[in-house]
Amino acid sequence: MKRTIITTIALIFMLSAVWLPLSGCALLQRGQVAEELATVQVREYQGEKLSSINDFRENSIKGPQFIDIESYQLEITGLVSEPKIYSYDEIIDQNQAYKKVVRLNCVEGWSAIILWEGVLVRDLIAAANPQPGAEVVIFHAYDGYTTSFPLDYLRDNDILMAYKMNEITLPPQRGFPFQLVAESKWGYKWIKWITKIELSDDVDYRGYWEKRGYSNTGDIDESYFGR
């Protein structure tokens, strides 16, 4: 009887050794590295249907930018008492993350509803200790694009600098490593590939499209021309 039990256990062990590697949940052997599978974007959040990240149209001034994340730096500069330089990981690791569903409305006539995840711009600004004369915040992008906002807009609203959309990391075409989620503003204010946030006292500053006749406020409830 005892010999039969031992034989049965040995047989089960042998079958397990054959079956496990063939199963979809095979155990990793020591020293093996798990293969990373492609992430999948969510298309619904808290009952709200979301657009696809592929619903966006390419309309940047120089095409998609491909940034080396190992050498990437974000500067917080200008009229601040404590200028900052952050790596990509430092931005994410040192700041509270927030999620928010926000619609982007483009002046070309299309829109997209996306679940954005990122850090609050006001937290980044506060850490740099703005000087009393600072009234305007100028965002600079890797491709030379710029746009600006009143400092109060960024302080008084939950404006995200996003690094994820629909639960996946921003692809380069969508602004990796960071895109501004300029809520209540037209899409040209949603600057991508952010490299510098500059505090200024120049209330007459105009960004790339603003110099070409677009509204400086960019408010979604007003025309994008002329102000």
Question: Contact at 8 Å (CB) between 198 and 128?
Answer: no
Grade residue 47 by pLDDT with cuts at 50, 70 and 90: confident
Strand pairing of 111-120 and 136-141?
unpaired
Query: Which residues have C-beta within 8 Å of that of residue 58, sequence separation ≥ 6?
Result: 64, 173
- Within a domain: 148: yes
What is the percent of the chain where pLDDT is above 90? 72
Q: What is the mean pLDDT of residues 1-25?
A: 43
How many domains are there within the chain? 1
CATH number of the domain enclosing 141? 3.90.420.10
Q: Which two tokens stand for residue 64?
A: 């998609």
The answer to whether residue 15 sits within a structural domain is: no
Residue 224 lies in a domain: no
Q: Please give the residue range of the domain that contains residue 154.
A: 44-212
Examine the pLDDT at 22 and tell me if it is beyond 70: no
Is 13 a member of any domain? no
Reported as a single tens digit per residue, the pLDDT across 58-94 is 889 999 999 999 999 999 999 999 999 999 999 999 9
In a domain, 23, yes or no: no
Instruction: Tell me whether residue 147 is in a domain.
Output: yes
Averaged pLDDT of the chain: 86
Angle at 93 between CA 55 and CA 95, to 5 degrees: 80
Q: Is residue 102 part of a domain?
A: yes
Output the pLDDT for position 39: 61
